[in-house]
């Protein structure tokens, strides 16, 4: 069949893996996009007549939705209603051949439709069944729905983001969505190894809340170790200094010198070897205790130099540093393009973000097919799976 030939040509470590994609919005589609990028064949099921709500999200380029194309290119689209008895034979036919199912409905939804873990495992015992939700499939809050902003609030992340004299702040991107999608991608690949070696399927349960709780880092360390309630510190780090943003002649600059060796090198570059003998700054513990004084001293030295001059001298000395760029400066940088972080949608002027997973078995093609129109592949899939 034409479809089989088309997908046999896919490159990547997941070539030959069939994914049934029941996801919508961002966290689930991001996960299944990564699976497709790794070579898997992804069949996305959407309920007619509108399909995934993300199809309507702006901006539009040449009549195509940028958001939807970013997370749904390289997938096939099957228009089907998961609740409809008429569509059930096709869905079950795909399930019997699928390696992975991914969904991000509110917990309990697929169970009500007869497509929960137990029901699907009876159809295909080797299937990896992955669920992404706000609070997970267990616990007293498991039934609650969530979007990224709700999880950033509930996780405590929002409460430690922003400056001490300001309100809690949402991060500049949908961190809970992206991170839970990435965690699901990783767990699915681990479960696939077991499925392919033992024939035993797995239930993958990824919560957006867990994904953020697991990365709170220094904030949660302080609480678990000492019972200390973390607070907002702007751009600083409670246990490392200098680890902050400083204003150079031509704009803000990030500088990180967390240990004694790097601090000594920073002091020398800034012309302040005297800091090493200063009782306030001679150890990390003392630098933390005298945070405001040290930040002021570094600020006075940094403001006399350009960002380019400082970044080069600091990096050559082994001290991580870099300019605070705008989004356009970052995405259009030579480094971003060299890393294939800007892709193109074929047949349009649309450019989309790349993904960070570079593997030698993947080619360097910068073009991706446009996202399928709702139901574009329905007839071909009916013929392939139902004959």
Name the pLDDT band for 8 (thresholds 50, 70, 90).
very low
Residues 6 or more apart from 136 whose CB is under 8 A from it? 107, 142, 205, 206, 207, 209, 210
What is the rounded CA–CA span in Å between residue 63 and residue 373? 12
Q: 153 with 209, same domain? A: yes
The one catalytic residue in 177, 205, 244, 377 is 177
Q: How large a percentage of the chain has pLDDT more than 90? A: 94
Predicted local confidence at residue 197, as pLDDT: 97
Q: What is the DSSP string of 342-369?
A: EEEETTSS-EEE--S---TTS----EEP
pTM of the predicted protein model: 0.95
- Is 177 one of the annotated active-site residues of the chain? yes
Q: Are residues 259 and 155 in the same domain?
A: no
CATH at residue 247: 3.30.1540.10
Write out pLDDT tens, residues 90-116. Answer: 999 999 999 999 999 999 999 999 999
CATH number of the domain to which 191 belongs = 3.40.50.10540
Average pLDDT, the chain: 95
Task: Read off the pLDDT band of 364 (50, 70, 90).
Answer: confident
Q: Within this chain, do residues 82 and 52 fall inside the same structural domain, yes or no?
A: yes
- Same-domain status, 306 and 374: no
Q: How many domains does the chain have?
A: 2
Q: Report d(CA 300, CA 298) in Å as an integer.
A: 5
Which residues form the domain of 31?
2-214+341-386
Asked if residue 74 and residue 151 are part of one domain, the reply reads yes
Domain boundary residue, one of 329, 350, 366 = 329
In a domain, 181, yes or no: yes
Residue 334 in domain: no
- What pLDDT is stored for residue 277 in this prediction? 96
- Helices 88-97 and 378-386 pack at an angle, to 10 degrees, of 70
- For the chain, give the percent of residues with pLDDT over 70: 97
> Which pLDDT score is estimated for 56?
96
Please tell me whether residues 347 and 283 are part of one structural domain: no
pLDDT at 174: 98
**Per the domain annotation, does 128 fall within a domain?**
yes
Cα separation, 309 vs 269, whole angstroms = 11
Domain boundary pick from 329, 354, 378: 329
- The pLDDT confidence band at residue 9, using thresholds 50, 70 and 90, is low
With beta carbons less than 8 A apart as the criterion, state whether 178 and 132 touch: no
Q: What angle do CA 287, 293, 281 make, to 5 degrees?
A: 30
| Domain identity same for 182 and 129 | yes
Q: Are both 37 and 169 inside the same structural domain? A: yes
272 belongs to a structural domain:
yes
Residues 206 and 265 in one domain: no
* Model pLDDT for residues 20-72, shown as the tens digit of each residue: 999 999 999 999 999 999 999 999 999 999 999 999 999 999 999 999 999 99
> Is residue 224 domain-resident?
no
Domain membership of residue 229 (yes or no) is no
* Residue 363 confidence (pLDDT): 77
Q: What band does 361 get if pLDDT is binned at 50, 70 and 90?
A: confident
Residues 247 and 107 in one domain: no
Question: Which of 97, 101, 117 lies closest to 109 in space, CA to CA?
Answer: 117
Last residue of a domain, one of 281, 297, 329: 329
* Residue 41, in any domain of the structure: yes
Shared-domain flag, residues 210 and 94: yes
Residue 176 lies in a domain: yes
Does 154 lie in the same domain as 58?
A: yes
């Amino acid at each position: 069949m034409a479809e089989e030939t088309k997908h046999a040509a896919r490159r990547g470590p997941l070539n030959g893996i069939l994914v049934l994609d029941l996801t919508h919005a961002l966290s689930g589609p991001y996960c299944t996009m990564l699976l497709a990028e790794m070579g898997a064949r992804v069949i996305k099921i959407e309920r007619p007549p509108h399909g995934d709500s993300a199809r309507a999200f702006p901006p539009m380029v040449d009549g195509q939705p940028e958001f939807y194309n970013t997370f749904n290119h390289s997938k096939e689209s099957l228009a089907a209603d998961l609740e409809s008895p008429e569509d059930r034979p096709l869905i079950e036919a795909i399930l019997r051949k699928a390696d992975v199912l991914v969904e991000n409905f509110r917990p309990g939804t697929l169970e009500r439709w007869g497509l929960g873990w137990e029901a699907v495992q009876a159809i295909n015992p080797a299937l990896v069944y992955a669920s992404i939700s706000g609070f997970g499939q267990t616990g007293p809050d498991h039934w609650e729905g969530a979007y990224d902003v709700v999880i950033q609030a509930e996780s405590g992340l929002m409460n430690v983001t922003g400056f001490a004299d300001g309100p809690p702040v949402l991060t500049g991107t949908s961190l809970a969505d992206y991170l839970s999608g990435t965690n699901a991608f990783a767990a699915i690949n681990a479960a696939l190894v077991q499925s392919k070696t033992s024939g035993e399927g797995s239930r993958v349960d990824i919560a957006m809340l867990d994904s953020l709780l697991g990365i709170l880092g220094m904030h949660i360390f302080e609480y678990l170790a000492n019972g200390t309630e973390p607070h907002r510190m702007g751009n600083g780090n409670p246990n490392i200094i200098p680890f902050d943003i400083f204003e150079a002649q031509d704009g803000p600059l990030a500088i990180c010198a967390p240990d004694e060796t790097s601090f000594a090198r920073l002091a020398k570059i800034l012309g302040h070897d005297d800091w090493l003998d200063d009782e306030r700054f001679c150890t990390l513990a003392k630098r933390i205790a005298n945070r405001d004084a040290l930040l002021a001293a570094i600020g006075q030295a940094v403001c006399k130099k350009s960002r380019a001059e400082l970044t080069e001298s600091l990096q050559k000395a082994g001290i991580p540093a870099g300019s605070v760029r705008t989004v356009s400066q970052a995405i259009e940088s030579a480094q971003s393009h060299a890393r294939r972080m800007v892709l193109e949608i074929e047949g349009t002027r649309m450019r989309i973000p790349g993904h960070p997973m570079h593997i030698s078995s993947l080619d360097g093609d910068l073009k991706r097919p446009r996202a399928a129109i709702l139901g574009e592949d329905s007839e071909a899939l009916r013929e392939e799976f139902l004959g």
